[in-house]
C-alpha cells in the first residue's frame, strides 16, 4: 500500500492508474468506512482512501480539537484490507492559499444540519471538490448516514459536470441500531447505552411530535427532526456529542 503524503506524490502515483474508486474520510476508521472500501474494491481494481481532518467544515474549534485521530491504526486497517493507496495531506497541501475560495450552495445546505452549523457545508463541498479534482476518480463512495451531505455532493458533481459517479452505501449500524460514527468514541459508557434509543425512536411507529417528546424525555437534546423527500432526518445532542441519523419515511 502506498502512503501519499502530498499532492506531488499523489500526482505521480495517479499517472499510472486507471479505474479508481475513491473513499474520502477524516480518519478514525470504523466498519462503516470499511464497508465503503469493500464496495469500492468490488467496483474497480484500484482503491484510494484519503484521510484528512478538514478544518473548514468545523463550526466550532473545540469540535475540531476533540475529533479523534489515530493515523497509525487507520493505515494498518487499510493495509490489511488491501487498499492500494492512501492520501494523507496536511492543511497546507489542501489549502495552500488559505481558505480563499469556497463552494457555496444556497438551498439545501441552509436547511437541517446547515441551519445549525453555519459554513459547515461550504467546507464540506470545498474539500470534496478539491479532492475530486486531485484524485480524478471514476467512482466516489459515500455513506447514507450523512444523507444531506450525500445529496449535496451529488448535486455539486452534476452542477459542475464532473466525470465521477457516486456510489452510495447504506448506513452501517451496531447490533443495537446505533449508526457507526467516529464521534461515538466520545460518548461516556452511560451515553453509549442510551444512544441506540435515537435510532429506535426514529423507526418506531409514531408521529413526529411523539418522537420528539420521547427523545427529550430520554435525555436527548433535539436539534431537528424533519422529513426530507422520502427520508426522516434527525440530529440530536447527547452530552456534548452530536449524533445524526436518517431512516426511510413512508409519508403520512
State the first-to-last Cα distance of the chain, in angstroms, to the nearest integer: 50
CA separation for the pair 31, 9 (Å, rounded): 28
Residues with catalytic function: 33
Amino acid at each position: 500500500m502506498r502512503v501519499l503524503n502530498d499532492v506531488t506524490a499523489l500526482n505521480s502515483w495517479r499517472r499510472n492508474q486507471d479505474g479508481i474508486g475513491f473513499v474520502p474520510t477524516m480518519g478514525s476508521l470504523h466498519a462503516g468506512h470499511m464497508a465503503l472500501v469493500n464496495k469500492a474494491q468490488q467496483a474497480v481494481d484500484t482503491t484510494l482512501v484519503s484521510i484528512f481532518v478538514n478544518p473548514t467544515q468545523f463550526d466550532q474549534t473545540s469540535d475540531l480539537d476533540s475529533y479523534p485521530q489515530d493515523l497509525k491504526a487507520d493505515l494498518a486497517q487499510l493495509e490489511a484490507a488491501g487498499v492500494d493507496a492512501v492520501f494523507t495531506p496536511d492543511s497546507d497541501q489542501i489549502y495552500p492559499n488559505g481558505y480563499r475560495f469556497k463552494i457555496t450552495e444556497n438551498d439545501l445546505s441552509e436547511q437541517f444540519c446547515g441551519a445549525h452549523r453555519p459554513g459547515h457545508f461550504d467546507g464540506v463541498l470545498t474539500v470534496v471538490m478539491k479532492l475530486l479534482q486531485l484524485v480524478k476518480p471514476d467512482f466516489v463512495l459515500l455513506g447514507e448516514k450523512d444523507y444531506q451531505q450525500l445529496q449535496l455532493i451529488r448535486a455539486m458533481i452534476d452542477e459542475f459536470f464532473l466525470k465521477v459517479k457516486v456510489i452510495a452505501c447504506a448506513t452501517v449500524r451496531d447490533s443495537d441500531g446505533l449508526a457507526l460514527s467516529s464521534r461515538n468514541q466520545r460518548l461516556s459508557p452511560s451515553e453509549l447505552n442510551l444512544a441506540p434509543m435515537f435510532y429506535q425512536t426514529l423507526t418506531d411507529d409514531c408521529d413526529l411530535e411523539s418522537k420528539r417528546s420521547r427523545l427529550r424525555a430520554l435525555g436527548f437534546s433535539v436539534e431537528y427532526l424533519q422529513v426530507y423527500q422520502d427520508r426522516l432526518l434527525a440530529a440530536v445532542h447527547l452530552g456534548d456529542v452530536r449524533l445524526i441519523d436518517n431512516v426511510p419515511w413512508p409519508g403520512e
